[in-house]
Amino acid sequence: MLVFFKERLVLLSVPKTGTTAFQSALRTRADIVVSDPPELKHAPIYRYDRFFRPIFSKMFGVEMEIMAVVREPIDWLGSWYRYRRRPFMVGKPNSTHDIPFDDFVTAYMQGKRPTFANVGSQLRFLTPRPGGCSATHLFKYENQSGIIAFLETRLSTAITLPRENVSPAIELVLDPGIAERFRRKFAEEFELHARAF
């Protein structure tokens, strides 16, 4: 999470949406950088609303705008799948080595997900609690030029993104039947992505 107090902007770190690179590029420009532990770095909007928002509203009387990035849902799962195939993950419970991508997505669709497929939800990450704040600026991960242009204008600074936290390059093809089931079961995830710019 990055906080730009003077600009009244908070950039939430939705996992697997490239926000680690933005943290590296903007950490010296931000007023607050939350990079560890992961539970705070990747604080979802309801956690921001409960713990961080009161600091700004009660101490300073200001309401921050919230920016977040979302990825196309199957592509997002593909990023998690590749990320958990890094060499040092072999033998760990959440490794996806020796698990086909079709099986990974099928496991994600289960009510009780196995450890390797328990990767959360972009929709849940950005669902506000009752009466809470919601994302003001929602961008598609694929729109990197739009994300950069928005931040450069808002922060009056040039941005050069490093390549960080990159998953191994693996071409993934999802069985069309599994993809269709996934789209039906998680239609709201696709609707969230469609609403983003």
- Tell me the pLDDT of the chain (197 aa) as tens digits: 999 999 999 999 999 999 999 999 999 999 999 999 999 999 999 999 999 999 999 999 999 999 999 999 999 999 999 999 999 999 999 999 999 999 999 999 999 999 999 999 999 999 999 999 999 999 999 999 999 999 999 999 999 998 876 777 889 999 999 999 999 999 999 999 999 99
The pLDDT of residue 169 = 82
Report the percentage of the chain scoring pLDDT > 90: 95
Strand partners, 17: none
What is the total count of domains within the chain? 1
Looking up tokens 């009244």 gives: 8
Specify the DSSP class assigned to residue 87: G
Peptide bond into 176 cis (omega under 30): no
Looking at residue 13, its amino acid is S
Its domain, for residue 171, covers: 2-195
DSSP of 22-65, one letter per residue? Answer: HHHHHTTT-SEE--SSHHHHT--HHHIIIIIHHIIIIIH----E
CATH assignment at residue 45? 3.40.50.300
Phi/psi at 126 (5° precision)? -105, 10
